[in-house]
Structure 1
């Protein structure tokens, strides 16, 4: 045992410097695929707006018009002697709406309430000075 202890101790080489792996981030995902032809837009088939359709700017805005319509989901319906109501979740809670109420930032007016959903007609600009009526639907969110 003494012989082993008497032998000179060896030196260990230092560990090589570790080069951290740099991950590649693909940033061209939103660009057109290089092997597909470019999409051609047919502007002649585009729907033209009307000067007759315009939002009522003099109308007092309702609370739910301060939110995007994408933030709303229908969670139920109520019916009583006063009519039929939809329960809309969004904004800051659950709200009761009826036909004729407005919601969303694009002058969306509720035109129909059924057990399956709420139909809304939005008035959006067409980009050329006119306005278009765009139908939207909020379907009932099923409990999961």
Structure 2
């Protein structure tokens, strides 16, 4: 019986050691630190005063008017600059870009040399003075190994400039075997 009483009291004594005394000390310390600590918050700056601007040039010409800018650009180009003839009737080969055209040979008729251009599976005869390509290209010369084309293209500034292109003779697949 004594043994039973000791076994019952032993856990109760162990629980008594886990009392609230340490927690109370921590709470007291936290209250003390909280009362002594003063937070520092920087005050916000006052907003800057906004002064509205009165636009007094309402009766002046608009500096961003597109017509005015175009007129100034036209003045800066002597003679109006290079431009393609957009009123000219387009030729058939102008509907294809130059990168799909291949020079596959030449042909001579009545002492005049013609270039042979292949587009897809069709071959066309061309001579100097004809137009080809989508950039207002004019065929300037035809030789046995190349066709020279003068194109008129726009540069980054929007000005029309001439660009020379060459379609060189392409070796056929049958000759390379």
Q: Deviations over 1:67-126 (max 9, x none)?
A: 111000000111121621100001561100110111110011100100011000110011
2:116 to 87, 91, 99: 87
* 3-state SS of paired residue (2:134): coil
Alpha-carbon distance in 1 for matches of 2:83, 2:111: 30
* 3-state SS of paired residue (1:103): coil
* 3-state SS of paired residue (2:158): coil
* 3-state SS of paired residue (2:82): coil
Contact 1:64 1:91 in 2 (8 A): no
Gap regions ≥5 residues in structure 2: 1-76
Gap regions ≥5 residues in structure 1: 1-48
More strand by share: 1
Alpha-carbon distance in 1 for matches of 2:102, 2:126: 12
Query: Where do 1:47-126 residues align within 5 Å?
Result: 51-81=80-110, 83-90=112-119, 93-126=122-155
Larger Rg: 2
Alignment size in residue pairs = 96
Instruction: Flag the 1:120–1:81 CA change in 2: closer, same or farther, 3 A.
Output: same
1:128 to 144, 157, 167: 157
4+ residue stretches of structure 1 with deviation over 4 A? none
TM-score for both structures, normalised by structure 2: 0.51
TM-score for both structures, normalised by structure 1: 0.61
Larger RCO: Structure 1 or Structure 2 (Cα < 8 Å, ≥ 6 residues apart)?
1
More helix by share: 2
